[in-house]
Chains A and B, each alone.
Chain A
Amino acid sequence: MRHAGRLAWALTGIDLDVAPGERVLVTGASGAGKSTLFAALAGLLDPEAAEVGGELAVDGQPPAGARDRLGLLMQDPDAQLVMTRAGDDVAFGLENAGLPAEVIWPRVDDALAAVGWRYGRDRPTQALSGGEKQRLVLAGALARRPGLLLLDEPTAQLDPAGAAVVREAVARAVVARGTTLLVVDHDAGPWLPLVDRVVEVREGGLVEHPPGWAPVPRAAGLVLPAATAGPARLGAETAGFTYRGTTTPALHPTSLVLRAGTVTAVTGENGTGKSTLALLLAGLRAPTTGAVLAADPLAVRGERRPHRWRAGDLVTRIGTVFQQPEHQFLTGRLRDELELGPLRSGSGSATARARAEELLERLGLAPFADANPFTLSGGQQRRLSVATALATAPAVLVLDEPTFGQDAATWRELVTLLAEQRAAGCAVAAVTHDRDLVEVLADAEVAL
């Protein structure tokens, strides 16, 4: 099939038969067409926006007509829940099917039990963690008793603990009921114990992997440039943070030093204040106790507290990369996006343009120089967001979950890019759950 306005087929040569009760993983690099395949199977392709060649059938019917037989679980938990209470949300799909209330509630309880739900029906959906929300969405899908469960990277937006919750719920549900399962995910490893078959989407078609196949570890054979630790650039001195109107600190007093030519990993469970610490180090929030102070050479007119700096001064000293790249994009073209930081910090337009060209080349984004950042793939957006932070050549780089949801190829590119920055004398701090990242890159680890 191909999308309107694009000449290339997004996906070709796909032949896949899934027998009832089979559990299949569809994997492949980002941009290979996995999501298109998912949308086609789920009957979600807009016939006006896509041209489809060949045939697709679920139980012998076109997918759009087989909606009742399908249960879907997608990436964003907040875009899949409808009701304010857990039980009501599971009941939603049964109400739509026109079932009477006396049939609905036993089936709701049954579906909640199938996914290992630990709370009551009355649990507010607002208060759930990402993993628990996905567990609930799965229950909502199961309650409709689908013949086929279709999962599209259901753990991509979750931390490892949340991802484990979702996989455990999926395993529990499909094993007990013999439901046919089709999982689409670039991260194959964690699903292997659960599936019977693994197929990989590649250019030109599907490759079926033999039983016992395992993906190549993403860090295998990675050679990173060496670096030597230099002087301290930025430090936290018993810095803590409590949100206004709350009593429990979001971050307990923490001390650390970021040195030139080193990578410091900040790790810890959810809710320990990792992201809050990143905001303090990035000069975006003022610590409510203790201090975050830059080294003297970075001071702006004697001011060493980054949160007091003007934004234009901040970007040349501390670069920050947020978890969601879209939050940081401000312009309609990649080129403008990369020129923005240098222009804002007072560089001339010629300098800014040269800097943007250089980064576009180096990060393999030159073919998209005039494209809109929002049209890039997830991996490309991530690279662009790092590039925008590097455009002003900051002495300190703060990243929040830089490798979150990235496929193996993007992961290696990012790790290499960060290692290059370190070799060039940058002080890097990365908040992360990613143990591989910590192992190959971190010179120091701060566990909260």
Chain B
Amino acid sequence: MTASLSLGPAPDVPLSRINPCAQILAAVAVSLALLATLDAVTPAVVVAAELCLLPAAGLTDPRTLLLRTWPLLLGAGTLAVVNVVLGDAGLLGALGIALRVVGLALPGVLLVASTDPVRLADALTVHWRFPPRVAVGSLAALRLVPLLVAEFETVQLARRTRGVEAGRNPVARVRLVAGIAFTLLVGAVRRAGRLATAMDARGFDSGIRRTNARGSVLHARDHLFVAGAVVVAAAAVTTSVLAGTWAPLFVGG
């Protein structure tokens, strides 16, 4: 659980060299191709290309990969099964749907695995003029997530010392977790208030135009990366049309 929630500085992997903005644009390019069609061939080509990038994001160990993607795989699998059982999409159609979900989500997995949240915020504020209030504020909030996870454990144990536990009763279990979540929420709001004070004290959002100490630069490789994504999207569509499976979602007229 904690492995997938490691929000500290990301490890230096080849994909880290690609500017986060370029990664997001590339994701948009392949997503457009995925959203335009209902067939299985287009997403297959896109997913294949995305899988080729896994080593570049340092995701070579199957265990780590599974830890980071199991909710995604579970979701895609469930969607496929539901479509086979209840829908009229057929086996191939269901596979297409599952592949589309994976294809849409994998760029996010790659981005998170290769990108320091700070670099992402830098890129968003420098290139796309995101308000620092939002970008830096989110960074500060992100730091508090692992603390919440650790605190959940502590509060759960603390409840037992007060004679409160769920035992085997599932309803009691839900109520217990809801109670713990509320305690954590109260604590998180208080801590967030203190953090806001501390950020204020260091001149955050004081009306002065904020600079960026690290900066964010777009290199030729970033442009190439986006171009590559466009090529993949085009290749996926072309393959699908040539294979005769192309099934556009929006038919003109």
Contact = CB atoms under 8 A, between A and B. Distances in A.
Interface in B155-192: 155, 157-165, 167, 179, 183, 186-187, 191-192
B165 A42 contact: no
A314 B212 contact: no
Contacts of B154: 322, 324, 327
Given A82-B140, A310-B165, A311-B165, A70 B201 contact: yes
Interface in A314-341: 314-315, 319-320, 322, 324, 326-328, 330, 340-341
Given A82-B199, A84-B143, A284 B117 contact: no
B136 A82 contact: yes
B163 A314 contact: yes
Given A96-B210, A144-B202, A344 B194 contact: no
A94 B208 contact: no
Among B140, B195, B201: residue with most chain A CB under 10 A: B201
A311 B148 CA distance: 24
B144 interface: yes
Chain B contact patch, size range: 35 or more
Given A88-B118, A96-B210, A284 B157 contact: yes
Nearest to A83: B118
A196 interface: no
Contact of B158 (A88, A122, A327, A341): A327
Given A84-B116, A314-B161, A322-B158, A91 B213 contact: yes
Among B8, B118, B143, B208: residue with most chain A CB under 10 A: B143
A44 B211 contact: no
Contacts of A125: 8, 143
Given A311-B160, A327-B154, A330-B164, A88 B213 contact: yes
A418 interface: no
A310 B155 CA distance: 17
Contact of A105 (B7, B194, B213): B213
A341 B158 CA distance: 12
Given A72-B198, A78-B191, A96 B118 contact: no
A67 B206 contact: yes
A320 B199 contact: no
A112 to B, nearest CB: 14
A124 B147 contact: no
Contacts of A84: 7-9, 116-118, 139, 143
B248 interface: no
Interface in A260-279: 279
B204 A320 contact: no
A346 B9 CA distance: 50
Contacts of A140: 202
B163 A311 contact: yes
A349 to B, nearest CB: 15
A192 to B, nearest CB: 26
A158 to B, nearest CB: 16
Contact of A96 (B7, B164, B204): B204
Nearest to A311: B165
A380 interface: no
A101 interface: yes
A387 B8 CA distance: 39
Contact of A100 (B151, B160, B162, B211): B211
Nearest to A96: B203
Contacts of A42: 201
A82 B211 contact: no
A22 interface: no
Contact of A328 (B144, B162, B167, B191): B162
Interface of B: 7-9, 116-118, 136, 139-140, 143-144, 146-147, 151, 154-155, 157-165, 167, 179, 183, 186-187, 191-192, 194-195, 197-206, 208-215
20 contacts: A70-B201, A72-B201, A78-B144, A82-B139, A84-B7, A84-B139, A91-B213, A92-B136, A93-B203, A95-B212, A95-B213, A97-B203, A99-B211, A101-B211, A101-B214, A279-B157, A326-B183, A327-B155, A330-B162, A330-B164
